[in-house]
Amino acid sequence: MSRAWRAVRERALNVYAALAIAYLLLPIAVIAVFSFNDPEGKFNFTWQGFTLEHWTNAFSLPPLNDAFFLSLELAAASTLVATILGTLIAMALVRYQFFGRRPANFLIVVPMATPEVVIGAALLSMFLIYGLELGFATLFIAHVMFSISFVVVVVRSRLIGFDRALEEAARDLGATPLTTFRTVTLPLLTPAVLGASLLAFALSIDDFVISNFNAGESVTFPLFIYGAAQRGIPVEAYSIATILFLVTVVAMAFTVWQQRRAQQMASIRPEQEDEPYAGTPAMPPAPGAAGG
């Protein structure tokens, strides 16, 4: 009896998982469908008819374009800086024992434990007091700030599972520290760093709350959507959101490809082959998987 019961249960689990995935993707489907809508007025709320117009002219609305490209620029810049700073911190935390380690750990965790609205408001308080002009610079500061912790956590979880023996082997074979870093450490680290930067990018391009406080007259993509949600979101915004989704999928596929390469490198050591898993997940996330 237990076998039959188990079969049912196993199927139930798969069905449950499939439903959960469907739930996650449902709004994306709605967004994609509405990007083909053909409303007569300026509001894109109810289905009116099919058109390709908003795809062929996805980038024909200057304010929307400005917002979108501003968001891309901001995300790229803040991701770059946050990834570098966060990776350095993660390396220090995993590889060195030093005085002040706990406070440092604490300082990295607390921003993640702080609601966005508090971070946004606090930064605004400071910018106001210093009379800093709100705009790209303040957005950049804020985005790097809230991304660092997540980068640290992702890279650290990967570094912990990292096999130091490979580096030592390289050094024993006569490689200089720099060469070792370039030829062994970096390639092994790449998936984690890519994953972390993807997460940082997602956090940045998605952020509304903190940006809303600190944007000044800059309008990022989410801020534009928020404003437009008041008066009717142009269909083009749905097309761009769908494009963003598709580009993400491509970027993720690329990350996985990188991951595979790193795994191939890691599997050089024969005794690892029977390991049931090879390394941490490909995907950015695992934000909380700090442990390890």
Partner 1 sequence: MRTDEGRIGPARRIALALIALGVALGMVACGGDSGIEGSEAESDVETAEAQGEASGDLFVSNWPFYIDRKTVPAFEKKTGISVKYVEDVNDNTAFFGKVQPLLERGEAGGRDIMVVTDWMAKKMYDLGYLQNFDKEAVGPALDNLIPALQSPSFDPERNYSLPWQSGMTGLVVNTAMAPDVTSINDLFDPKYKGKVEMLTEMRDTVPLVMKASGVNPEDATEEDWMAAIDKIEQAAASGQIRRFTGNDYTRDLANGDAVAVIGWSGDAVQLQADNPDIEFVMPDEGCMLWSDNMVIPVGAPNPAAAYEWMNYAYEPANQAQITNYNYYVSPVSGVKEILEKQGSDAAKSDLVFPPEEYTADCSTVDTPPGGPEAEQRVERAFQSVITG
Partner 2 sequence: MTSPKGRDRSAPRGALRRRAIPYFLLGPGLIWLLLFFVVPLYFMGRLSLESGSLETGGFEFTWEWSNYGHALGDYQDRFVRSFFFAGSATVIALLIAYPLAYAIAFRGGRWKNALLFAVVAPFFTTYLIRTLAWQTILSDDSPVVSTMQTLGLLGDGGRLLATDGAVIAGLTYNFLPFMVLPIYASLERIDVRLIEAARDLYSSARTAFWRVTLPLSAPGVVAGTLLTFIPASGDYINAEFLGGTNQAMIGNVIQSLYLNLRDFPSAAALSFTLMAVILIAVFIYIRFAGSEALMGEEAEKAK
Interface of this chain with partner 1, residues 201 to 220, rule: CB under 8 A: 216-217, 219
The 91-110 site mask, x for binding partner 1 (CB under 8 A), equals ------xxxxxx--------
Is residue 133 left, alpha or beta, with left meaning phi > 0 and alpha meaning psi from -120 to 50? beta
Question: 134: which 2 tokens?
Answer: 């709100």
Specify burial of residue 283 (Cβ count, 10 A radius: 0-12, 13-18, 19+): middle
Give the count of alpha carbons within 13 A of 216, CB side only: 15
Among 16, 43, 50, 254, binds partner 2 (CB under 8 A): 16
User: By CB under 8 A, is residue 226 in contact with partner 1?
Assistant: yes
131: region left, alpha or beta (phi > 0 left; psi from -120 to 50 alpha): left
Q: Cβ–Cβ contacts within 10 Å for residue 285, how many?
A: 16
Residue 48 or 248: the one with the smaller Cβ distance to partner 1 is 48
For residues 76 and 147, the answer to whether their CB atoms sit within 8 Å is no
Question: Does residue 152 interact with partner 2 by CB under 8 A?
Answer: yes
* Binding span for partner 2 by CB under 8 A among 58-66, 143-151, 182-190, 264-272: 143-151
Q: Which does 178 bind (CB under 5 to 8 A by kind): partner 1, partner 2, none?
A: none
Nearer to partner 1, 215 or 282 (CB): 215
Based on CB atoms, which residue is closest to partner 1, 167 or 236? 236
| Mutual angle of helices 235-266 and 221-231, in 10-degree steps | 150
Q: In the structure encoding, which two tokens stand for residue 97, read together? A: 């024992």
Q: How many residues in total does the chain contain?
A: 292
Q: Which stretch binds partner 2 (CB under 8 A): 55-63, 121-129, 185-193, 264-272?
A: 121-129
Q: Would you count residue 226 as binding partner 2 (CB under 8 A)?
A: yes
- Distance from C-alpha of 235 to C-alpha of 217, rounded to nearest angstrom: 24
Task: Please answer whether residues 144 and 76 qualify as being in contact, where contact means their C-beta atoms are separated by less than 8 angstroms.
Answer: no
| Nearest-angstrom CA–CA distance, 34 and 242 | 10
Distance CA 221, CA 241 (A): 10
Please select the residue that binds partner 1; options are 170, 184, 228, 241, rule is CB under 8 A.
Answer: 228
* Nearest distance from C-beta of residue 154 to partner 2, angstroms: 10
List binders of partner 2 among 170-199 (CB under 8 A). Answer: none
Interaction mask 134-153, partner 1, x per CB under 8 A: xx------------------
Per partner kind, with CB cut-offs from 5 to 8 A, the member of partner 1, partner 2, none near residue 34 is partner 2
**Could you tell which of partner 1, partner 2, none binds residue 39, using a CB distance below 5 to 8 A set by kind?**
partner 1
Give me the residues that bind partner 1 (CB under 8 A), please.
39-43, 45-46, 48, 60-63, 66, 97-102, 125, 128-129, 131, 133-135, 216-217, 219, 223-224, 226-232
